[in-house]
Amino acid sequence: MHPKYLSIKDFTYQLPEDKIAFHPLAERDSSKLLVYYDGVIEESVYRNIADYIPDNSLLVFNNTKVVEARLLFQKQSGGVIEIFCLEPHEQYTDITSAMLQSQKILWKCLIGGASKWKHGLVLEKDIDSSGLNLQCRFIERRTDCFVVELSWNSPLSFAEVLHKVGAIPLPPYIKRNAEAEDSERYQTIYARHDGSVAAPTAGLHFTPAIFEKLKEKNIQTDFVTLHVGAGTFKPVKAGTMEEHEMHAEFIDVSIELIENLIKNLNNTIIAVGTTSLRTIESLYWLGVKKSGVGSQESGVSQWEPYETDTNISVKDALIALLDWMKKNNLRRLITKTQIIIAPGYNPKIVNALITNFHQPRSTLLLLVAALIGDDWRKVYEYALQNNFRFLSYGDGCLLKFNR
């Protein structure tokens, strides 16, 4: 059945609030780990994860970095207006170049207290005590966001401005203000590229000690970049998936990563996080396009994998993508993906996933169900009955499946 016709009520479960992790554990790798394969469940902790991964496997991580995307402006009257920076205006080709802009920028945002922002009022905030100042001007209202112009009187990059005056945007279900520990703990130890408004949380558990154990088993590691948008928290409110619009996100992949995937197609390829999995699987469909099949528009659209008739092998698709990049002298592939992975999708490249436990009625839960079928209920019921911690700061699982 086409995933369009899936009913979201079939992908829900009862999540008591006391099962949600509101703070991280003291040690990243002490989080519990559920290991699933072929109907069998084992329980361990993250510091032992290398024991469950075959030698010579390839782990792919998302090295995006969470930016301090929440800006609070106080009006002279005392009221507070919150600007939640979602993504750059479409005039910028990618998030990285937008983050490097200086002095002013256009940004798509959500606005808390928008009704209190009178037309023509310029919001202001001091960047530091030296006289540096950040201003915000209302530009445009759209269906799902606002466009604002942010400007500042210094050569600082926008990423540096956010770092100085913004706050880490914790997920909406963590009902507390960001604290000092969140600046470090809501960030992976390998985060490199500014641009996410949510962490790729499966990677929060990894430590230098884990990476050392992986190296001892000749387990390779590599990285992609998918800048996570606020849409990752968007619940599916429609009755069927056909009425739900999947959020599009920027991906950035090196030519070396694609070569590495080709070399490891006969080994276990593990995505660390749903964002890594969506990025890697999108590469197959981008390669199909470069083979001349299906829509030739850039990026990957929501339903494209389910409506493209192809028998192109994974290796041929990735080689086609690689050849296209070389022909165009590209060392990195930067585009957008809107791919939704739901029951009915057959994984092309990845055959294991490391991930946290996700919200009911979410596209992330649909992704898990696509990989392990109805056993997602078995996994989640085990986690609920055995005191696993849920959502972003919670415990996680290693799900093995056959591609």
Same domain, 61 and 73: no
Element (H, E) at 165: helix 158-165
The stretches in the chain having pLDDT less than 70 are: 233-234
**Same structural domain for residues 52 and 127?**
no
On whether residue 173 sits in a domain, the answer given is no
What is the separation of C-alpha 289 from the centre of its chain, rounded to a whole number of angstroms? 24
Same structural domain, 296 and 151: no
pLDDT at 127: 83
CA distances to 19, 108, 149, 225 from 161, rounded to whole Å, are 36, 16, 14, 22
Which of 132, 166, 200 delimits the end of a domain? 166
CA distance readout (Å), 242 to 7, 52, 247, 266, 370? 9, 37, 14, 35, 16
Query: Is the domain of 391 the same as that of 271?
Result: yes
Looking at residue 246, the DSSP 8-state letter turns out to be P
Q: Is residue 390 included in any domain, yes or no?
A: yes
Burial class (CB in 10 A: 0-12, 13-18, 19+), 208: exposed
Question: Are residues 126 and 253 part of one domain?
Answer: no
Residues 45 and 106 in one domain: no
| 216 & 233 share domain | yes
- 159 and 240: one domain? no
User: What are 111's strand-pairing partners?
Assistant: 83
> Which pLDDT score, from 0 to 100, does residue 211 have?
98
Are residue 51 and residue 76 in the same domain, yes or no? no
Per-residue confidence (pLDDT) for residue 19, from 0 to 100:
98
pLDDT given at position 77: 81
Do 152 and 229 have their domain in common? no
Q: How far apart, in whole angstroms, are the C-alpha atoms of residue 43 and residue 355?
A: 14
Spell out the alpha helix ranges (H) of 273-389: 274-290, 304-307, 314-327, 363-372, 375-385
Q: Which residues contact 325 (CB under 8 A, 6 or more apart)?
A: 255, 258, 331, 333
Q: Say whether both 358 and 313 belong to one domain.
A: yes
Q: What is the pTM of this model?
A: 0.94
- Paired with 271 in beta bridges are 60, 353
Out of 112, 134, 166, pick the residue that ends a domain.
166
> Which residues form the domain of 111?
69-166
DSSP 38-99: TTEEEEEEGGGGGGGS-TT-EEEEE-EEE---EEEEE-TTS-EEEEEEEEE-TTSS-HHHHH
Does residue 248 belong to any structural domain of this protein?
A: yes
Q: Do residue 361 and residue 392 come from a single domain?
A: yes
Domain boundary among 102, 135, 166: 166
Q: How far apart are CA 168 and CA 162, in angstroms?
A: 10
Q: Which CATH number is 32's domain given?
A: 3.40.1780.10
Domain count, the chain: 2
